[in-house]
Amino acid sequence: MTFRPFLLVSLVVALLGACAESPPRRLHVLAADFPPATGGEARVLVELLPVVFPERLNRLDLVLEPSGAPLSVRESERWAAPLPDEMRQILADALWAGLGAQDVYRAPVDPRSTRLPLLRLAVRIERFEAGDQARVEASWTVRRLPDGPPLACRRLVETPVSAPTADAAVAALGRSAGQIAILLAASLDAFTRGEGGACEAEPRR
């Protein structure tokens, strides 16, 4: 009985020591670079629905997938915001920069009230992994409102990871995500113009 207080104190000290030795958490932002978007009126309106991520990747901890190795969860490396929100912002930025498409998801527009093309876009991220390569694969469906036929596409982008570090993986994932967004914007551009091969469309120069 007389030893229990000492055991309790020892346990608390050990736990505090373990906490003190835990590495500090670092926050990362999924960022992509686009040409500066000019102001002006929108040319297309898009209801960009919330982006869907596989549950195994939809977490704040950074998840890496080295080639031929199990998933690695880096609890000390975290995304600054949920990945679906980060990816949705990249897509919205690319749509505006490349297509003049304004996201109206939070302010729906009646198709009868505008002469602009009004699209509904749903995006699912199929792969989002970084090993030797940062692979981002996305599928999406788009249709013109109120009752246009849908177009379904899927694209994969791979970017080399320059070093086996979290920073290098995050940077490469951002580049791959940005390229996916640019390709998606080109696809919507071709779709609104009624051109064939919209799923394979490349950005116009």
pTM: 0.84
In a domain, 160, yes or no: yes
In a domain, 14, yes or no: no
In a domain, 8, yes or no: no
Percent of the chain with pLDDT over 70: 84
Examine the pLDDT at 73 and tell me if it is beyond 80: no
For residue 146, give its domain range. Answer: 27-200
In a domain, 19, yes or no: no
* Confidence (pLDDT) at 20: 47
Q: Which of 28-32, 71-75, 122-126, 188-192 has the lowest mean pLDDT?
A: 71-75
Quick check: 175 and 32 in contact, CB under 8 A?
A: yes
Examine the pLDDT at 10 and tell me if it is beyond 80: no
Segment 63-88 mean pLDDT: 80
CATH number at residue 152: 3.40.50.10610
* Confidence (pLDDT) at 33: 80
Q: How many domains are there within the chain?
A: 1
In a domain, 195, yes or no: yes
In a domain, 18, yes or no: no
Examine the pLDDT at 86 and tell me if it is beyond 50: yes
In a domain, 1, yes or no: no
* Confidence (pLDDT) at 154: 98
CA 95/CA 126 separation, integer angstroms: 20
* Confidence (pLDDT) at 7: 41
Q: Cβ–Cβ contacts within 10 Å for residue 61, how many?
A: 13
Examine the pLDDT at 23 and tell me if it is beyond 70: no
In a domain, 162, yes or no: yes
Residues 6+ positions from 204 with CB-CB distance below 8 Å:
186, 189
